[in-house]
Amino acid sequence: MKNYDITKTKLIIWDLDDTFWKGSLEEGNVIFELETINFIQELTTKGIMNSICSKNDFQKVKEKFVNSGFKNIWDLFVFPSINFSPKGERIKGIVSEMNLREENVIFIDDNISNLNEAMFYCPKIMTATPDNIKKMSEELYLVNDYDFEYTRLKQYKLLEEKVKEKSKSFSNEEFLRSSGIKICIKTDCLNNIDRIKKLILRTNQLNFTKFRDEDLEKTIRNNNAAYVIAEDKFGNYGICGFYVTDIVTGKLIHFLFSCRVMNMGIEQFVYSYLGKPDIEIKGEVASELSGNVDWVELVEELEVKTKETPKNNNINILFKGPCDLYSTLSYIDSDCNIDTEFPYWNKQLVYILAHTHTAFIEQTHKFSQEKLNQISNRFPFPNKDEFKTKFFDTKYNIIFLSLLTVTHSGLYINKNDGSYVVFGYADCDITDESNWEKILSPLPEEAKAPNLLMLKDFKKDYIFAGNPPVKTVIENLEYIRNNLNPSAKLVLILGSEIPTEKVQDGYANMAERHKILNSAVREFAKQKDVRIIELSDFIKSDEDYTTCINHFSRKVYSELAQEIVNVSNEILGKEYLNIREKIIL
Rounded to an integer, what distance in angstroms lies between the CA atom of residue 354 and that of residue 409?
Answer: 8
- 41-60: average pLDDT: 93
Residue pair 12/49 in contact by the 8 Å Cβ criterion: yes
Residues contacting residue 29 through CB under 8 Å, at least 6 positions apart: 23
Inform me whether the pLDDT recorded for 567 exceeds 70. yes
> Which pLDDT tens digit goes with each residue over 402-434?
999 999 999 999 999 999 999 999 999 999 999
Distances (CA, A) of 463 to 208, 415, 424: 54, 7, 14
Q: What's residue 395's pLDDT? A: 92
Inform me whether the pLDDT recorded for 574 exceeds 80. yes
Q: What's residue 241's pLDDT? A: 95
CATH of domain 171-298: 3.40.630
Strand order in the sheet with 126-128: 81-83, 49-55, 11-14, 105-108, 126-128
**How far does Cα 181 stand from its chain's mean position?**
26
Q: What's residue 367's pLDDT? A: 95
> Which pLDDT tens digit goes with each residue over 8-33?
999 999 999 999 999 988 777 799 98
What fold, for 316-426+468-579?
Answer: Rossmann fold (3.40.50)
Would you list the domain boundaries of the chain? 6-148, 171-298, 316-426+468-579
6-148 and 316-426+468-579 have identical folds:
yes
| Amino acid in the structure at residue 261 | V
- 372-390: average pLDDT: 91
Tell me how many helices (H) and strands (E) the chain has: 20, 24
**Total residue count of the chain as it appears in this document:** 585
Distances (CA, A) of 38 to 145, 330, 439, 513, 518: 17, 18, 52, 42, 39
- 356-377: average pLDDT: 94
Rounded to an integer, what distance in angstroms lies between the CA atom of residue 281 and that of residue 286?
Answer: 11
Q: What's residue 307's pLDDT? A: 41
Distances (CA, A) of 19 to 27, 31, 38, 203, 582: 15, 11, 15, 31, 22
- 575-585: average pLDDT: 65
Q: Which CATH architecture has domain 6-148?
A: 3-Layer(aba) Sandwich (3.40)
Can you list the alpha helix ranges (DSSP code H) found in 441-534?
A: 445-461, 470-483, 510-528
Q: What's residue 14's pLDDT? A: 97
- 197-208: average pLDDT: 84
Q: What's residue 492's pLDDT? A: 98
Q: How much of the chain, in percent, has pLDDT values that exceed 70?
A: 94
Rounded to an integer, what distance in angstroms lies between the CA atom of residue 355 and that of residue 219?
Answer: 28
Q: Are strands 489-494 and 531-534 parallel, antiparallel or unpaired?
A: parallel
**How far does Cα 179 stand from its chain's mean position?**
29
Residue pair 166/220 in contact by the 8 Å Cβ criterion: no
Rounded to an integer, what distance in angstroms lies between the CA atom of residue 469 and that of residue 487?
Answer: 28
> Which pLDDT tens digit goes with each residue over 270-290?
999 999 999 999 987 878 898
| Amino acid in the structure at residue 265 | G
Nearest by Cα to 303 from 192, 163, 165: 192
> Which pLDDT tens digit goes with each residue over 526-566?
999 999 999 999 998 888 887 789 888 767 887 898 999 99
